[in-house]
Amino acid sequence: MSLKIWLDGQLVDQANAKISVYDHGLLYGDGVFEGIRVYHGKLFEIETHIRRLYDSAKSIRLVIPITPEQMKAAIEQTFRANNFTDCYVRAVVTRGVGDLGINPRNSKSPSVFIIADTIAVYPRAMYEKGMAVITASYIRNHPNAQSPRIKSLNYLNNILAKIEANDAGVPEAVMLNHEGNVAECTADNIFIVRDGKVLTPKVTDGILEGVTRGVIIKLCAKSSIDCVERTLQRHDLYVADEIFVTGTGAEVMPVTKVDGRVIGTGEPGSTTRKLIDLFKQYVRG
């Protein structure tokens, strides 16, 4: 079927959803985006996603040409126009059409487009068995170069780390920060479980503040599971009892091997399974 894409205020057929080759989002990765889930016909954690989108835009001095309320309405309009009740939505804001120079002042009108489609980041069977990961040689952005807290269109270092994962025959790679500490994966946040305590890197360790990550932290608090944000090193991954990653696309995925080292029993652990169940209940709720 031909999807309907929201493009600068209008729903257009997928084949006609085009932007200019002079758009600075394409030429320079100058823009921001959000990935949002729809479950049972409802936008998941939409207020958090919208806030992060506008925070990212503000940080790079990009003025989104519609209000947060209009953005939310456009996202809703898009997935409903495609008759989805469960899907993934990508909302993108670019600097807009400019010239071949880098100066953003020459891009007069930011562009907004919204895609609603299905997504399967990992095979369903992997959620039962867990997955293997590696640690990448490519690091997350230095916070004084480009803050990892900005969800920008420039994902090149993540992509290079993903290529390393592909070369190693695994679906995901852990990325370290400029100090050599654990940051996050190429598209997911990471958690470990050690002696019954859930640990995850701090925001200042060079991570994107994941929406699903926030939900898991909240679910831990509600379920009296001790969850602490703290700096982690690669060694902490190797000696963890359990590891899992979270993301809008991935949801909650167990990790059972890191750099060839088996984690725990080699199967998803009890805390991970409990949090997967709690997340599913939260989504249904």
Q: How many CB atoms neighbour CB 91 within 10 A?
A: 24
In 3-137, the DSSP E strands lie at: 4-7, 10-13, 31-39, 42-43, 87-94, 111-117, 131-135
Q: Tell me the C-alpha to C-alpha distance, in Å, between residue 2 and each of 13, 14, 15, 75, 131.
A: 6, 6, 8, 18, 34
Q: How many CB atoms neighbour CB 90 within 10 A?
A: 18
In 3D space, the residue among 225, 218, 223, 176 whose CA is nearest the CA of residue 198 turns out to be 225
Within 13 A of 278's CA, how many CA atoms are on the CB side? 18
Asked whether the beta carbons of 135 and 258 are under 8 A apart, the reply is yes
Active site residue 151: yes
Asked whether the beta carbons of 95 and 31 are under 8 A apart, the reply is yes
Active site residue: 151, 202, 218, 257, which one? 151
Asked whether the beta carbons of 173 and 185 are under 8 A apart, the reply is yes
Active site residues: 151
